[in-house]
A and B are shown apart, each in its own frame.
Chain A
Amino acid sequence: MSTKLMTPLCALWQELTQSPNPSVIARARATPDILEHVEACPHCDELNPDNPEGVAAAYEVFAGKDGQAVAEDEDAFRLDASVARDVKSAVRELLLPQLPTRLAMQATWGELELYRGLDAIAMLAERESRDRVPRRVTLSSQQGLLAGDQCLARTELIKEIRVMTGADDANAASLFDWLVEAARSFPALFPGAIAAPSGAADVLLHVQPRLELEVDLSAQWSPARESGVMDVSGVREPSSRPRASAGRSARNP
């Protein structure tokens, strides 16, 4: 940014985007005109923080006192949690748009059906990996679930999907094949596991013990987890907030 055009507000915004430490944030919060300035200034408009914490700090500055009140609003917490609990919208709005187009178009099952199917596979992977160190299993369209010398046959996996989703054999089988292919493109597909392509068509699942049985799909499928790394720090809501839930509650009506 040209020094000639830099005003105190420009300098403050630049500091906030580049090094959002507590003193800079406090100064920005004490500057109520900063939002209007950023909207109007052609230079500041193009300066953006390059990390999530900086982005969050910028928005909190923009929110001002009215926005801070949201933190105390129980109604807002409830609605926030209900959005997180919404399995259908998570599948439709978060999962499918992040998959390759062809796979997303092939997903002709209902959102709940799709989620119950993938949760069924996730739970089986967790069970079969329990005695293994490290906890790795291979998911194969042809063979099923391979854990060392043990093998849970493809038919068993399809049967589990059929039970959990209520689908017929053909739909359960096609859903299973679809899940294996989707996991090759989307490491965070299965709750409690990180997927990686293995060979021409299989998937290696690194299973991690779930901290909770209930899954926040908003966090599970967030774009920040595209590498599949299990990063729970910064994802948890403060303990006073209601817990989001999915998976079990979706499965058990």
Chain B
Amino acid sequence: MGESSAHFVCDIAKLQAYRHTLKKSSANRTAQANHSHHASVYSPLRILGTATGKVNVVSPVAPKIAWSIASAAEYQKLRSLFFSALAGLARRGYAIAPDEGLDLIHDFFVEAWPSMVERHDPRQARLSTYAYGAFIQFARARIVRLRRWGKQLDLPAPPETESDTETKLDVTRLRRAFDSLDQGDRDLLDARFAQGQSERELAKALGLTRYRVRERLVEALAGLVSRLQDKALAESSDWAIAVAIWRDGRSIADIAAAMKLTESQVRARKRRILEALTRVAPPSAEHARRDECLRNS
């Protein structure tokens, strides 16, 4: 960890690695070294601090944000509080997987922290306590949306038996609707469903949070099914289901009840539609060009 008289760069990864060298046995150090270096989409936030204690934050998705945190130790303590908040939320029905929870904490620091600090009145509560309450409010709302989008985007398991006789999908018409989307939406859907890139990979490529990637995917699918309906292409009940899921945001149970289908049938059709999206992908030569567009967009 380098240090100058005017600034110190406190890279949390380096701080943690320093702690590792104090504690790890040589066997563990060897094992650690065997891991290829991997940074999650939200690599540890870099904190650039001054000797006076003010810190600036550098994040993969936000170039520079000014914070008021005294030290890296304070940041670690706040993170601990937020993990505790996530544990409490999980027990109250707002469970979110740890990898997404890490992203949530990162997003809070990047998006909500600056304005939260401005609003904080030290006469009412300590900053850490105020931050705890603010994080719960931030996280709870995000978890609700993430779960909903997750359900809209998940690929159901293949049905054990094909009891539904309607198996023909008009891929030509789907491609027409797909081609009428904005370039950005086309590239996103192509990358996610045709190329099979994960949300995390897309987030990294686009410099977005995973939350925002999921939101954009749902918006793109909603745009796609709206075009199917607008162009009177939605002749089959499959597209009615697509509209209900991605434009109207209705649950599988709701759709099944309304269309007098079983939930399994609705899931099977949803799967079929998502699989059809993989067939409207452009020829493989185009993929490299679109990858380039994604990186540059």
A residues in contact (CB < 8 Å) with B: 5, 7-8, 33, 36, 38-42, 45-46, 48-49, 51-53, 55-60, 62-68, 70-71, 73, 75-76, 79-80, 82-83, 86, 89, 93-94, 97-102, 104, 184-185, 197, 218-219, 222-226, 234-235
Contact = CB atoms under 8 A, between A and B. Distances in A.
Contacts, number: 177
B236 interface: no
A49 B97 contact: yes
5 nearest A-B residue pairs (beta carbon):
A222-B93, A224-B93, A79-B133, A67-B84, A66-B80
Interface in B131-156: 132-133, 136-137, 140-141, 143-145, 147-148
B254 A48 contact: no
Contacts of A52: 90-91, 93, 95
Interface of B: 13, 16, 19-20, 23-24, 28, 31-32, 34-36, 38-40, 44, 76-77, 80-81, 83-88, 90-99, 101-102, 125-126, 129-130, 132-133, 136-137, 140-141, 143-145, 147-148, 247-251, 254, 257
A68 B93 contact: no
- Dominant secondary structure at the B interface: helix
A7 B83 contact: no
Contact of B141 (A94, A185, A225): A94
Nearest to A6: B31
- Dominant secondary structure at the A interface: helix
10 contacts: A52-B93, A55-B96, A56-B91, A66-B76, A66-B80, A76-B81, A101-B247, A223-B144, A234-B91, A234-B92
Contact of B92 (A104, A222, A226): A222
Contacts of B83: 59-60, 62-64, 67
A70 B147 contact: no
A45 B91 contact: no
B80 A98 contact: no
B80 A185 contact: no
